[in-house]
Structure 1
């Protein structure tokens, strides 16, 4: 009996040592992987630079070119470029800006106005009408590709649920 309990104690000590070694190895591997992921995420974050695009200028240019009383481009040019008449386009913009939070113009944390509903709808409609890339609207409407893709995604989601004026 004494030999049996001695063997059990040795087995238990061996199991405990093995568990401790496994736990230590696991912790080292886990910590190394966690650190690697954090470093990779920090490197990615540093690469993204903010570009001041002066989005207000984009809105004013768009308004003056197509929507003001003395617009630069006549209605037939609007219809050709937007593939619809201005009245229908404005009904879509008005309805989206009143019913869909994403298309409402809001202020950011420092009180600066965000993109206008006109800019957001124009980006989405132009991408669909012409099949252009997301960064094609940057220079005219004054916002980046990722925001343009969000405009298109939100626009098509509203279209998918059938919320457009008839």
Structure 2
């Protein structure tokens, strides 16, 4: 995620979601900053790490990190859901079909792709279930993305549940 996008998210959350506002406690000490809380949430979500893994880096405990993730997800849905977490409208589909036709792909609204991502923190008990030929655990990302990188559909799942042929039929 680029810095300007991250800072835009931090700014919106700190201005519009009470949990992300920096406050003073009874002794007059400042609480965690919105930047600390958002960084904790993004690190836990992006790396799939445990909530207590951000303790050394950001100086907040596991319970606080879990609250940061919970409030972060709720805040993102509240602030950005209507614009970014929605189904395409008929006007969107017409625009996408037009752009596809202009680019030489009539009838195409986006590009679908499936890829395997190595899962570094896969629980030991699940390693064989999530491994393919390489022997390393992976998770599949299926995504429909447009020319401008707008993602209309994304799905994570275990390997061998999806492949390019199945994705194209869906």
State the TM-score, normalizing by the size of structure 2.
Answer: 0.46
Which is richer in strand?
Answer: 2
Q: Taking structure 1 as the reference length, what is the TM-score of the superposition?
A: 0.48
More helix as a share of residues: 1
Return the index of the structure with the highest Cα Rg. 1
